[in-house]
Amino acid sequence: MSRARPNDLEDWQAAAAEYEEGSGGLSGFMVIPLAVILMSALLASLAWQTNPLPSVSIQPASVAGISPIFRAEVRYWADSIAKWAAASQLDPNLVATIMQIESCGDPRAVSSAGAMGLFQVMPFHFYAVDDPYQPDTNAARGLAYLSKSLATGGGDARLAMAGYNGGIGILSRAEGTWSAQTKRYIQYGAPIYADARSGISFSAALNDWYEKYGVSLCRQASQRIGLP
């Protein structure tokens, strides 16, 4: 969004000074009667009171957040995602993509393999004193693993997703050896993340994932967090 240049006022003042000093303009050409000046000021004051300039509501600048392509259940966590992403030095849209596919924003989600919470973290990633379903704790453990996977994959988000789903150890193997689940994970995760970064407002990839795999997951998440 364009903004007015900070030196606009300085430009106006410089122009006014030039006019007063005279450079072939009206300055010094004639003397305006005092009565005319006073009458003009009075009329201007009355005009201001009758037709004041419309007020302008200055809205605060938007903070960097997640893309609007994500489901409402994930956008519900937008402020937390921004906080967690900053703490983990990750792209908020990457974090949101993982949450979308893993739990659709359900903090109490449990998989058949025992993964828990918003980021479907396996039990062995938690400390004995951790509450796996506490959102901040779940995010800290899950995103620590995502960060490690991203680093192992040389900063490639697609590889980071594969490592997050299938275990970082698979990144040293040929993709042909990856499980069908991991291949499906990146089949949807990679284009969803690309769409989130592109600035578009609708993702065909996310919609396809939702229709095939996410309907019941997101319905449960919506009920859990109390969305209408």
Give yes or no for residue 168 having a pLDDT over 50. Answer: yes
In the prediction, which pLDDT does 166 show? 98
Domain ranges across the chain: 8-50, 72-225
Q: How does the average pLDDT of the chain come out, rounded?
A: 80
Fold of 72-225: Lysozyme (1.10.530)
Element (H, E) at 182: helix 180-198
**What are the catalytic residues?**
102
| Confidence grade of residue 202 (pLDDT, cut at 50, 70, 90) | very high
pLDDT by residue (tens digit) across 176-186? 999 999 999 99
Per-position b or e across 122-156, b if 16+ CB within 10 A of its CB: beebbeeeeebeeeebbbbbbbebbeebbebbeee
Q: In the predicted model, what is the mean pLDDT of residues 179-206?
A: 98
- Give the other-Cβ count within 10 Å of 87's Cβ: 13
Give yes or no for residue 161 having a pLDDT over 90. Answer: yes
Give yes or no for residue 27 having a pLDDT over 70. Answer: no
In the prediction, which pLDDT does 64 show? 59
Q: What's the burial of 162, exposed, middle or buried (CB within 10 Å: 0-12/13-18/19+)?
A: buried
In the prediction, which pLDDT does 124 show? 97
| Confidence grade of residue 149 (pLDDT, cut at 50, 70, 90) | very high
**Amino acid in the structure at residue 84:** W
The DSSP bridge partners found for residue 110 are 116
| Confidence grade of residue 61 (pLDDT, cut at 50, 70, 90) | very low
Return the minimum-mean-pLDDT range out of 50-59, 87-96, 124-133, 147-156.
50-59
3-state secondary structure of 116: strand
Whether the CB-CB separation of 125 and 141 falls below 8 Å is answered with: yes
